[in-house]
A and B are shown apart, each in its own frame.
Chain A
Amino acid sequence: MRFPRVTALDRLTLDIGPGVTGLVGSNGAGKSTLIKILLGLSPATEGRAAVLGLDVATRGAAIRERVGYMPEHDCLPPDVSATEFVVHMARMSGLPPTAARERTADTLRHVGLYEERYRPIGGYSTGMKQRVKLAQALVHDPQLVLLDEPTNGLDPVGRDEMLGLIRRIHTDFGISVLVTSHLLGELERTCDHVVVIDGGTLLRSSSTSDFTQTTATLAVEVTDSDTHPDGTAALRGILTDAGVTLVGHDGIDTEGLPGAGHILLIEAAGEDTYDLVRDSVAGLGLGLVRMEQRRHHIAEVFRTEQHASRQGGAQGTAAPAAATAGADQQKGSGRDEH
């Protein structure tokens, strides 16, 4: 996808299956451009894409009838009520008047809007507005929803509720979801599959379990004892001997963390690592202050990639697909047909 002066998506080849898929990228990575292509609204300069088995270039209208879209920005007129607005949007998706009303009532209830739906949207909180935006994307019972930064501007509780709702869209409603965010940790909790793009190229595409398997980082903090005046160093010694990879043992990665210098960041290869840490700490007679999984940020993936390329691409999970020309995505339907 090329604009006159910018190449927004560059030879991105991607195959997204049913379920909840997270699309992660920093601002300007090309997430919104990808969504526009998938909706058939801006044709790709070269290459092709298919959504629900329909070609975006020729079947745009048919796709848009079966797909819901929740934009990132504010898009609600303040002077109408949520009910009226969502009914109108349902009719714009082709639902007959009665069905539009029924579906609106249902959908607003599912996203958690009750009595307030009869009041003008202008008086809603950000959280309520996000729910209305989500409702208008779901009201026509699409097979796939594209959610652009749905947790933007929400407080931690609202964020959790929204993520729970997104999960339910797939598990309870049977609708596949493509959700974008710039927080990887947020998507890990909701998505079956995560795609990371940066600068219009694919950085990584793998299922969420792969992600946690290969990159889960454990933060371990221990106390000092009389026999081991520097407990952290003692533990590091034992773990290194046991063959556990330490992340940023030069202290690079621990900068800015509370108790930096006393925290060991280690790569968890699986359940064994947890046991090993526990046994090592117990063997040394130290107190284990904490052992926790660190939340990943997008930057961490970038760092891993750089690390990987230095090692000759040994990790190999995200070789940017340069072989195929053009943006080429295939979308499967997540709906169980009844």
Chain B
Amino acid sequence: MSTETKAAAGRDASRIHNIGYRSYDGPRLGRAYARRSLFSQTLRGSFGLGRSAKSKVLPMLLFGVMALVAAILVAVSMAAPDASKLVVKYTSYAIYLQAVIGLFIAAQAPQAVSRDLRFKTVPLYFSRPIEHADYVIAKFAATASALFILTGAPLLILYVGSLLAKFDFADQTKWFGQGLVSVALLSVLFAGLGLVMAALTPRRGFGVAAVIALLTITYGAVSTVQAIAWETGSEGAVQWLGLFSPITLIDGVQTAFLGATSAFPGGEGPGTGTGVVYLFVVLALVAGSYAVLMRRYRRVGL
């Protein structure tokens, strides 16, 4: 540290702690470093690290549930006689546990963005070297990474478990890879949608409700209509209906490209042609979320 003691030192002998002002001549690491700092602060904050004990409870609990269920499934798979693969597919895991993921993003997206808006901390960020885009990118990436850790960790448990159980290495590795790509896509999509809802509702309670509503209402509506379409024999409609809720979008993409088994009624997901549409919609939603966030923060100056 190249600091130096300035004139004030020793001027006031009665106050022994007054060692005077030291100026800072060290490095200033600039925009990219500030962006990384914001990223890591938000990512740690998503799991309650660096925050109060109370705010660690929910994210840790949800993370625990995700991991525990995976561990149980590994145990079950190993206990089954003559088992040659896991009882659950890597790609199905996130679909089964979508409620947990939904709760996590609903609780943590407002934490990531609404706090800054509500307590008006945003001007402090924008009076520093970072630009609006840096802020949005850091928050987006951190939330997506938090979701990826939440959804990827149980897959890792499944993978390690399957290797310990001496299942076929090549198959497991391929499926594990497909699973990771699928949850990565899911993380980015959910992070985008969650942050948009949270950024538009600065009150934290409303933000949580808005994210849960977005995820559950669309899923509930889509799966109900899909079931009706399936019952009435219009199988063709089922795969198109899946475009209207985030989780069925992911289901569709991974069914088309990542060897997953669809959770749609009848187990028939979209083929490659429709899958391209699914993938396109997912990417459009992610880009759209980014654009909306940029618009939102351009308006919040000082």
Contact = CB atoms under 8 A, between A and B. Distances in A.
A65 interface: yes
Given A78-B119, A88-B41, A140-B24, A36 B301 contact: yes
Nearest to A75: B120
A13 interface: no
Given A41-B126, A61-B129, A80-B51, A95 B119 contact: no
B28 A65 contact: yes
A242 interface: no
A41 B29 contact: no
A210 interface: no
Considering the complex of A and B, which 8 residue pairs feature the smallest CB-CB distances, nearest first? A141-B24, A69-B127, A91-B37, A94-B28, A172-B8, A173-B21, A94-B29, A61-B129
B33 A74 contact: no
A71 interface: yes
16 contacts: A61-B130, A64-B128, A71-B123, A75-B119, A92-B125, A92-B130, A95-B24, A99-B27, A103-B24, A106-B21, A140-B24, A141-B23, A141-B24, A172-B6, A172-B21, A173-B21
A135 to B, nearest CB: 12
B177 to A, nearest CB: 35
A79 interface: yes
Interface of A: 32, 35-36, 39, 41-42, 61-62, 64-65, 67-69, 71, 73-80, 84, 88-89, 91-96, 98-99, 102-103, 106, 109-110, 120, 136, 140-141, 172-174, 335, 338
Nearest to A106: B22
Given A94-B33, A140-B28, A64 B50 contact: no
B120 A73 contact: yes
Contacts of B119: 74-78
Nearest to B29: A94
Nearest to B301: A41
Contact of B129 (A41, A64, A102): A64
Given A78-B119, A103-B24, A172-B21, A65 B129 contact: yes
Contacts of B4: 338
Contacts of A89: 124, 128
Interface string B5-32: 0111000000001001111111111110
Interface of B: 1, 4, 6-8, 17, 20-31, 33-34, 37-38, 41, 50-52, 55, 115-116, 119-121, 123-131, 301-302
A99 B129 contact: no
Nearest to B132: A41
Contact of B55 (A41, A79, A102, A338): A79
B50 A84 contact: yes
Contacts of A62: 129
Contacts of B131: 61
B8 A75 contact: no
Contacts of A71: 120, 123-124, 127, 302
Find the residue from A78, A93, A96 having the highest chain B CB count within 10 A: A93
B84 to A, nearest CB: 49
A93 B34 contact: yes
Nearest to B55: A79
A69 B29 CA distance: 19
A136 B126 contact: no
Nearest to A35: B302
Nearest to A63: B129
B52 A79 contact: yes
Contacts of B26: 95-96, 99
A57 to B, nearest CB: 14
Given A61-B131, A94-B28, A75 B7 contact: no
B101 to A, nearest CB: 24
Nearest to B37: A91
B23 A41 contact: no
A41 B297 CA distance: 12
A103 B22 CA distance: 9
Contacts of A32: 302
Contacts of B51: 79-80
A102 B17 CA distance: 15
Contact of A92 (B17, B20, B34, B123): B34
B34 A77 contact: no
A79 B48 CA distance: 11
Given A39-B302, A65-B128, A91-B34, 7 more contacts: A62-B129, A74-B120, A92-B37, A94-B33, A95-B26, A141-B23, A172-B20
